């Protein structure tokens, strides 16, 4: 099982999907996949998993063209899970930033000492 410092691709995808849904609950799976640069099947799998865990509700609605679409709403449990995922993601990214900053500082010292 991944730790806070070990990225879990599924958790990252869950977070990214939940962020899109929070901004645009009527986004189609195809739109979500395109926006996130992932496969349509991956988005479908993620949405099904989020729904099974009770983190989102999926509901049908009719569009003007008489086609059925879906609306995806984060549940209270989904909002809580998104906050937890966001905190873990932020912690990991800050750690990555500190490592990168140290490397940049080291490279800058090497340039300064040779110049």
CA–CA dist 100, 107 (Å, integer): 11
**Are 59 and 69 in contact, with CB atoms under 8 Å apart?**
no
* CATH number, domain with residue 20: 1.10.10.10
Note whether residue 54 is domain-resident: yes
Listed residue (15, 38, 36) closest to 84, CA to CA: 15
pLDDT of residue 68: 56
Note whether residue 65 is domain-resident: yes
Regions in the chain scoring below 70 on pLDDT? 1-7, 61-68, 115
Q: Number of structural domains, the chain?
A: 1
Q: How far is CA 101 from CA 93, 95, 105, 115, in A?
A: 12, 10, 6, 21
Domain with 76, as residue range(s), is 9-87
Note whether residue 114 is domain-resident: no
**Are 91 and 4 in contact, with CB atoms under 8 Å apart?**
yes
Q: Please name every residue paired with 72 in a beta bridge, in sequence order, or none if there are none.
A: 58
Note whether residue 94 is domain-resident: no
pTM (two decimals): 0.77
pLDDT of residue 69: 74
Note whether residue 109 is domain-resident: no
pLDDT tens per residue, range 101-114: 999 999 999 999 98
């Amino acid at each position: 099982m991944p730790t806070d410092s070990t990225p879990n691709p599924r958790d990252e995808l869950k977070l990214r999907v939940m962020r899109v849904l929070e901004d645009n609950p009527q986004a189609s799976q195809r739109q979500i996949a395109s926006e996130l640069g992932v496969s349509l099947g991956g988005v479908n799998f993620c949405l099904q998993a989020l729904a099974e865990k009770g983190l989102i509700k999926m509901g049908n609605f009719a569009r003007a063209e008489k086609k059925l679409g879906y609306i995806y709403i984060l549940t209270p449990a989904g909002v809580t899970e998104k906050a937890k995922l966001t905190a873990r993601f932020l912690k990991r990214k800050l750690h990555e930033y500190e490592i990168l900053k140290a490397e940049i500082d080291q490279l800058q010292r090497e340039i300064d000492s040779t110049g």
